[in-house]
């Protein structure tokens, strides 16, 4: 009876991978007993099937989950960029409300994102010390695409800001932008004011 239960669990484990660990253990147990005890010998083939199905379930689970686990640090940096840009946007709106203008000078903002592994720019081509925030970001600034960089800053009274981060070992950097006006993305999508937008995705490149 136990080998049959283990086989059923191995099939269920194809949809719920953690169960495959249980069925694999039961399959090994039944297989060992089938080799040592004559009464269990007829169950040997079922035990082998259980181990195979369980192994397939675990392999599929590993192929799907492990790449996503490896992406977690990169995804955390993307979240940090989005949150940092949203904070900068809120500060710019407060400055606009009280002073009637936006700014590219970081010192004029009351609150700023933490300068971690991300680089922020309020102007695409100004000196980073004046118009940006950065710490431990060697090599990021020079790899921001010029087309994106040129769109960042004050233009006709409206402001676009960016956040960039290096997520892997290649030269491509992850770049997010946020604007005080509605924009149109490369694919024609409308990007509302205040929405962080992924211009360059370093996770998939």
Q: What is the pLDDT of residues 130-147, one digit of tens each?
A: 888 776 666 788 889 999
**Total domain count for the chain?**
2
Question: What residues make up the domain containing 12?
Answer: 1-67
Task: Note whether 134 and 38 are same-domain residues.
Answer: no
Cβ(79)–Cβ(56) under 8 Å?
no
Task: Note whether 97 and 127 are same-domain residues.
Answer: yes
**Final residue of a structural domain among 32, 52, 67:** 67
Number of CB atoms found within 10 A of residue 167's CB? 20
Which residue from 125, 122, 200, 103 is spatially nearest to 162, judged by alpha carbons? Answer: 122
Task: Note whether 59 and 80 are same-domain residues.
Answer: no
Cβ(27)–Cβ(51) under 8 Å?
yes
Determine the 3-state secondary structure of 102 from DSSP.
coil
**Model pLDDT for residues 143-193, shown as the tens digit of each residue:** 899 999 999 999 999 999 999 988 776 778 889 999 999 998 877 889 999
Question: What pTM was computed for the model?
Answer: 0.67
Task: Note whether 101 and 182 are same-domain residues.
Answer: yes
| Residue 205 is assigned to a structural domain of this protein | no
**Model pLDDT for residues 27-44, shown as the tens digit of each residue:** 777 677 777 777 766 767
Task: Note whether 26 and 86 are same-domain residues.
Answer: no
Which pLDDT does position 13 carry in this prediction? 64
CA 26 to chain centre: 37
* Residue 176: its H or E element: strand 174-179
| Residue 114 is assigned to a structural domain of this protein | yes
Task: Note whether 126 and 171 are same-domain residues.
Answer: yes
For residues 21-31, give the mean pLDDT.
72
**Chain mean pLDDT for the chain:** 80
| Residue 36 is assigned to a structural domain of this protein | yes
Which pLDDT does position 65 carry in this prediction? 65
**Model pLDDT for residues 77-106, shown as the tens digit of each residue:** 778 889 999 999 999 999 999 999 999 999
Token code pair at residue 23: 């069925």
Task: Note whether 99 and 156 are same-domain residues.
Answer: yes
Beta strand residue intervals within 10-72, DSSP E: none
Which pLDDT does position 205 carry in this prediction? 47
Task: Note whether 38 and 109 are same-domain residues.
Answer: no
Task: Note whether 81 and 155 are same-domain residues.
Answer: yes
Task: Note whether 185 and 90 are same-domain residues.
Answer: yes
Task: Note whether 58 and 85 are same-domain residues.
Answer: no
| Residue 187 is assigned to a structural domain of this protein | yes
**Final residue of a structural domain among 67, 93, 120:** 67
């Amino acid at each position: 009876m136990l080998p049959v239960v283990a086989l059923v669990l191995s099939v269920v484990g194809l949809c719920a991978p953690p169960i495959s660990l249980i069925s694999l253990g039961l399959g090994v147990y039944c297989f060992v007993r089938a080799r040592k005890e004559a009464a269990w010998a007829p169950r040997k083939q079922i035990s082998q099937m259980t181990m195979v199905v369980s192994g397939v379930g675990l392999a599929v689970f590993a192929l799907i989950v492990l790449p996503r686990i490896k992406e977690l640090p990169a995804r955390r940096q993307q979240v940090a960029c989005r949150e940092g840009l949203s904070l900068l946007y809120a500060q710019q709106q407060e400055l606009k409300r009280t002073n009637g203008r936006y700014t590219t000078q970081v010192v004029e903002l009351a609150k700023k994102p933490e300068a971690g592994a991300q680089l922020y720019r309020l102007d695409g081509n100004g000196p980073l010390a004046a118009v940006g925030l950065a710490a431990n970001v060697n090599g990021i600034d020079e790899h921001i695409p010029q087309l994106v960089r040129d769109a960042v800053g004050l233009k006709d009274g409206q402001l676009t800001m960016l956040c960039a981060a290096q997520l892997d070992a290649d030269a491509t950097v992850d770049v997010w932008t946020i604007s005080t006006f509605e924009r149109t993305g490369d694919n024609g999508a409308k990007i509302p004011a205040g929405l962080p937008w992924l211009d360059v995705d370093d996770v998939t490149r």
